[in-house]
C-alpha cells in the first residue's frame, strides 16, 4: 500500500516538471484528452491503460446557410399582355391635339405675362389695350381646356390571367365582361401630356350631350371623389379630374385596336349599365 502511494507521488513529481496534464491524469486514474507538451504526447503512446480508448465520433459542424426564400411564382406566358388596347385615336391625332393645347397655353402665358405689361407702359389707352391682350390669351385657353378635356385618346382593357392565354379565351371573356374590370382611359392634359384615368366598368354609363358640358360617357356621381374643404378642392381641380368622356364607335377605331370586336363588347356593357341605372331611378 505504501509503495503504491510512493510510486504515484514519484510519477506525479516527475510529470509536474513538464506540466503535462495527460501524465497527471494517468497517475490519478483519469483520462484527459488535451495534451500540453510534445514530450507528454510521446510518453503517452508508450503507456498502456487498462481502460479501452473510446473513440468519439466527430460531430459534423453545422454550416450556416442563408434563409431559404421561396422563389416568386412565374405567371405562364400567354398570347396577350396584362391589358389590350380597345380604343385608339392614332398617334397623328393625339400629337395634333397635344400641339394645339400647348399653343393655347403659350398664347395664354404670352398675353397675360408679356403683352399686357407692355401695354401698361404706353401712354395712350394703356388699360384698354392691357385688358384686350389678357382676354385674347384667356378665352382661347379656357375654351380649349373645356372642350378638349373629355376627348379620349386611348382606352386599355385590363385582362385577368385566364383571358391572356389565347384568342379563344379572350373572346370568351369579352362576351361576359365582369363588372369590376378596370378601364385605363387616357386623356390629354392642358399641357399636352397624357393623363390616365383608371375607372371600373360598372362605374361608367352613357349619357346625352348637355349644353354646358361635353362628352357622351360619364362616371356615375356615386363613384366620383368628393373633396372636402377649400384646400382639398383646389388640389383636386389642379389634378384636372375627368368625369365625362367623349368616345366614338367608328370602324377605323376598331381596326387600330388589338381586338376589333373588343370595343363593341365594352360599349355594350356600358350601355347595359345605363339601362339598369334608368330602371333603378324610374
SS (H, E, C) 197-223: EEEEHHHEEECCCCCCCCCCEEECHHH
Beta strand spans in 75-193 (E) = 83-88, 152-158, 182-188
Q: What pLDDT shows up at residue 229?
A: 74
Structure-model confidence comparison of residues 127 and 235, the more confident one = 127
Read off the pLDDT of residues 199-209 as tens digits, 9 standing for 90 and up: 999 999 888 76
**Are the C-beta atoms of 151 and 246 separated by less than 8 Å?**
yes
Taking residues 119-128, report their average pLDDT. 84
Alpha-carbon span 31 to 22, nearest angstrom: 7
Alpha-carbon span 227 to 245, nearest angstrom: 21
Structure-model confidence comparison of residues 219 and 241, the more confident one = 219
Across the chain, mean pLDDT equals 76
Confidence of residue 40 (pLDDT cuts 50, 70, 90): low
C-alpha to C-alpha distances, 147 to 194, 213, 218, 253, nearest whole angstrom: 16, 8, 15, 21
Q: What percent of the chain has pLDDT over 90?
A: 29
**Are the C-beta atoms of 181 and 158 separated by less than 8 Å?**
yes
Phi, psi of 85 (to 5 degrees): -85, 120
| Order of strands, sheet of 182-188, starting from the edge strand that comes earlier in the sequence | 83-88, 152-158, 182-188, 194-200
Q: What pLDDT shows up at residue 69?
A: 59
Q: Which of 27-41, 47-61, 159-173, 235-249 shows the lowest mean pLDDT across its residues? A: 27-41
| Among 43, 254, 268, 250, CA closest to 174 | 268
Read off the pLDDT of residues 70-106 as tens digits, 9 standing for 90 and up: 666 555 567 788 999 999 998 999 999 999 999 999 9
Residue 260 φ/ψ region, left for φ over 0, alpha for ψ in the -120 to 50 degree band, beta for the rest: alpha
35, pLDDT greater than 50 = no
Read off the pLDDT of residues 141-182 as tens digits, 9 standing for 90 and up: 988 888 888 899 999 999 999 999 899 999 999 999 998 999
| Order of strands, sheet of 244-245, starting from the edge strand that comes earlier in the sequence | 204-206, 217-219, 244-245
Read off the pLDDT of residues 225-264 as tens digits, 9 standing for 90 and up: 777 777 777 776 667 778 889 898 887 777 788 888 899 9
Q: What pLDDT shows up at residue 196?
A: 92
Neighbours of 163 (CB within 10 A): 21
Alpha-carbon span 122 to 59, nearest angstrom: 99
Amino acid at each position: 500500500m505504501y509503495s503504491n502511494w510512493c510510486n504515484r507521488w514519484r510519477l506525479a513529481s516527475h510529470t509536474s516538471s513538464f506540466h503535462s496534464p495527460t501524465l497527471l491524469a494517468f497517475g490519478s486514474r483519469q483520462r484527459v484528452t488535451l495534451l500540453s507538451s510534445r514530450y507528454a504526447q510521446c510518453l503517452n503512446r508508450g503507456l498502456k491503460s487498462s481502460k479501452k480508448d473510446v473513440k468519439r465520433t466527430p460531430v459534423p459542424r453545422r454550416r450556416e446557410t442563408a434563409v431559404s426564400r421561396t422563389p416568386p411564382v412565374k405567371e405562364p406566358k400567354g398570347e396577350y399582355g396584362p391589358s389590350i388596347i380597345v380604343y385608339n385615336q392614332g398617334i397623328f391625332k393625339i400629337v395634333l391635339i397635344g400641339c394645339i393645347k400647348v399653343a393655347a397655353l403659350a398664347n395664354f402665358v404670352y398675353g397675360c405675362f408679356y403683352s399686357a405689361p407692355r401695354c401698361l407702359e404706353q401712354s395712350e389707352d394703356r388699360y384698354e389695350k392691357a385688358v384686350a391682350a389678357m382676354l385674347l390669351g384667356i378665352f382661347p385657353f379656357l375654351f380649349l381646356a373645356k372642350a378638349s378635356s373629355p376627348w379620349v385618346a386611348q382606352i386599355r382593357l385590363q385582362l385577368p390571367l385566364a383571358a391572356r392565354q389565347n384568342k379563344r379565351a379572350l373572346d370568351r371573356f369579352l362576351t361576359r365582361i365582369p363588372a369590376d374590370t378596370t378601364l385605363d382611359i387616357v386623356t390629354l392634359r392642358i399641357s399636352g401630356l397624357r393623363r390616365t384615368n383608371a375607372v371600373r366598368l360598372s362605374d361608367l354609363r352613357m349619357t346625352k350631350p348637355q349644353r354646358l358640358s361635353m362628352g357622351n360617357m360619364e362616371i356615375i356621381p356615386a363613384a366620383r371623389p368628393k373633396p372636402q374643404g377649400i384646400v382639398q378642392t383646389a388640389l383636386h381641380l389642379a389634378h384636372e379630374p375627368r368625369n365625362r368622356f367623349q368616345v366614338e364607335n367608328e370602324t377605323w377605331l376598331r381596326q387600330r385596336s388589338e381586338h376589333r370586336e373588343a370595343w363593341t363588347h365594352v360599349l355594350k356593357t356600358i350601355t347595359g349599365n345605363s339601362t339598369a341605372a334608368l330602371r333603378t331611378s324610374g
